[in-house]
Amino acid sequence: MNRQAHELDHRIVGDDMQCVEITLDPQETVIAEAGTLMMMDDGIAMKTIFGDGNGKEQGFMDKLWGAGKRVLTGESLFMTTYTNNTTGRRTAWFAAAYPGKIMPLDLRDFQGKLICQKDSFLCAAKGVTIGIAFRKRLGAGLFGGEGFIMQSLEGDGQVYIHAGGTTVQRELLPGELLRVDTGCLVAMTQDVDYDIEFVGGIRNTLFGGEGLFFATLRGPGHVWIQSLPFSRLADNIIAAAPRAGGRGKEEGSELGGLGRLLDGDN
């Protein structure tokens, strides 16, 4: 069956800090999140678009609705397209903002739809629609933090998603239940039953060191889990950063204090 979306060729480069090289035939287009471009050949035209990126003719209200859905997920109101306007093949490179793996996935292998974490989408073939996926109870999601309002990728094209740290994949059997930290959930197939569950218990809440909510995933379906969500990385960087008027938290607090004393710091 012929694709409706553009058919992209790609090459993943690197190990822990990966980038993806997208090769475009004449008049082929890749759509990407703002800020993910690494470099591109001469002859590729970059255009900022308003909407969900599927490339179909839309009225203003449809574009406004598509853009509004992206705002709900915390993404930019706009996306960027990169089109090869030459008669030869050209390449564009895209990279994520933190360590991890880039996964090329063909939506035709997943019945035309994937649900992914809002920070994981990198780029896709023109013709893929990037929207939002509301799952289960709105109240639970609003208090569940990251993971409730997720992006939906729909179509028959290639998509590229990024997972932080190490990626673990699980194939859930019918009725099989998996509890996941909401930030560690990268993506799942559309047949996975997904909800938010409160951890419970005052000691767990105050002293457990984890989030207040789990994502509960019930099979059948396939899920992708990341070991280093961007939110966790950002929290650790902020906690270790120097604070106003003083120094940050150091590895080995006693040795750090001794070092400051020898340096002549108070």
Percent of the chain predicted with pLDDT > 70: 68
Average pLDDT rounded to a whole number, residues 220-224 = 97
Output the pLDDT for position 79: 83
pLDDT higher than threshold 90 for residue 56? no
Output the pLDDT for position 98: 86
Output the pLDDT for position 209: 47
**What backbone phi and psi angles, to 5 degrees, belong to 198?**
-70, 135
How wide is the angle at C-alpha 255 spanned by C-alphas 252 and 261, nearest 5°?
A: 140
pLDDT higher than threshold 60 for residue 39? yes
Output the pLDDT for position 111: 94
CA–CA distance, 56 with 70 (Å, rounded to integer): 17
Out of 21-25, 50-54, 98-102, give the one with best mean pLDDT.
Answer: 21-25
Spell out the residues 6+ positions from residue 71 whose beta carbon is closer than 8 angstroms to its own. 77
SS3 label, residue 113: strand
Mean pLDDT, rounded, of the chain: 78
**180: closest CA among 145, 212, 227, 215?**
215
Fill in the DSSP letter of residue 136.
Answer: S
Out of 90-104, 131-145, 192-206, give the one with best mean pLDDT.
Answer: 90-104
**230: closest CA among 140, 132, 118?**
118
**40: closest CA among 7, 85, 78?**
85
Task: Name the band, by pLDDT with cuts 50, 70 and 90, for residue 141.
Answer: very low
Task: Name the band, by pLDDT with cuts 50, 70 and 90, for residue 133.
Answer: confident
- Class of the CATH-defined domain 9-241: alpha beta
Q: What is the pLDDT of residues 62-121, one digit of tens each?
A: 555 555 555 555 555 578 999 999 999 999 999 988 889 999 999 999 999 999 987 889
Weakest-pLDDT range from 14-28, 118-132, 138-152: 138-152
CA atoms in the 13 A half-sphere facing the CB of 242: 4
- The pair of structure tokens assigned to 153 is 């990728």
Write down the residue that tokens 């991890």 correspond to: 100
User: Distance of CA 247 to CAs 17, 58, 90, 241, Å?
Assistant: 29, 53, 48, 8
Are the CB atoms for 42 and 132 separated by under 8 Å? no
